[in-house]
């Protein structure tokens, strides 16, 4: 029997991509499409909104009464916190792709992981999570002798910067080198900045057009440099990863995972 998946933030780009990914899956199905209660999409057919044709599933304005085994949430921090609380109260696993949480919001969010399995990731693409492992190796081998810079680009509508993925990349590198990212991160430069401190990790952000997501981490040593890059050309790569995580949390026919905080590297066995 297919795993029943609810999707919040259904009116956004990721909501439509998730609908497509679920339609392509033979192990999961869209069972609830959720938007804000005041949205004009409430009552519309989810398949029609996603461009997949009529599927007979009306969009709803909340999780109350929805029938699902696991929730996938790509919405906004405040909404995600409320949805995680709902899932914790109803014993439902949750996959979270929302970014832009404050440290306090993230701590509050992870309290739900004490009651349910919760997969929180800044990026659900297989390639990006492979890059995390490659970054650990690069940092271990040449990180102490290189200047490290992270450049990311996204579409004009993205509201947080740097991206959650760029920050996660920085955290991977900093942790491998025994540094505290909050102390060594440099977000943009202007004016007379002085010579670069070798221990810092620089971030540069580009916003424009319809860029789905580009990330490059540069290890710049004297005489050579190594660049580890990932470029996404479709949101389907993220959506398919999120569906894979939902199936993994739900147990794919077996018992669901134990309560706890997981990430995409757990899902992929990395």
d(CA 82, CA 40): 21
- Rounded to a whole number of angstroms, the distance between the first and last alpha carbons of the chain is 28
Nearest to 174 by CA among 218, 226, 133, 139: 139
Regarding beta strands 3-8 and 201-207, do their DSSP bridges make them parallel or antiparallel, or are they unpaired? unpaired
d(CA 140, CA 208): 34
Catalytic residue ranges: 154, 158
What is the H or E stretch that residue 242 is in? helix 236-250
CB contact at 8 A, 85 and 8? no
With H, G, I as helix, E, B as strand and everything else as coil, classify residue 152. Answer: strand
Nearest to 11 by CA among 56, 76, 84: 76
CB contact at 8 A, 213 and 154? yes
Backbone region of residue 208 per phi and psi (left: phi > 0; alpha: psi in -120 to 50; beta: other values) = left
Count of H helices and E strands in the chain?
9, 11
What angle, rounded to 10 degrees, do the helices at 13-24 and 236-250 form? Answer: 60
CB contact at 8 A, 94 and 71? yes
């Amino acid at each position: 029997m297919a795993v029943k998946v609810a999707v919040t933030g259904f009116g956004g780009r990721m909501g439509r991509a998730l609908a497509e990914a679920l339609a392509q899956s033979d192990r999961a199905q869209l069972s609830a499409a959720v938007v804000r209660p005041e949205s004009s999409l409430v009552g519309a057919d989810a398949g029609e909104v996603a461009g997949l044709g009529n599927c007979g599933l009306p969009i709803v304005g909340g999780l109350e009464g929805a029938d699902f085994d696991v929730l996938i949430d790509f919405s906004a921090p405040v909404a995600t916190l409320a949805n995680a609380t709902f899932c914790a109260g109803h014993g439902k696993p949750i996959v979270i792709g929302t970014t832009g949480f404050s440290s306090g919001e993230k701590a509050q969010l992870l309290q739900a992981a004490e009651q349910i399995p919760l997969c929180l990731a800044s990026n659900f693409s297989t390639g990006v999570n492979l890059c995390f492992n490659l970054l650990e190796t690069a940092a271990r081998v040449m990180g102490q002798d290189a200047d490290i810079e992270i450049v990311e680009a996204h579409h004009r509508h993205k509201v947080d910067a740097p991206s959650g993925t760029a920050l996660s990349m920085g955290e991977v590198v900093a942790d491998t080198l025994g540094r505290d990212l909050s102390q060594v991160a440099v977000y943009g430069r202007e004016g007379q900045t002085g010579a670069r401190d070798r221990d810092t990790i620089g971030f540069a952000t580009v916003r424009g057009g319809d860029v789905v997501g580009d990330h490059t981490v540069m290890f710049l040593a004297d005489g050579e440099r190594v660049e580890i890059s990932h470029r996404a050309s479709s949101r389907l790569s993220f959506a398919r990863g999120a569906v894979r995580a939902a199936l993994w949390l739900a147990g794919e026919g077996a018992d669901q995972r134990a309560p706890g905080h997981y990430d995409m590297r757990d899902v992929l066995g990395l």
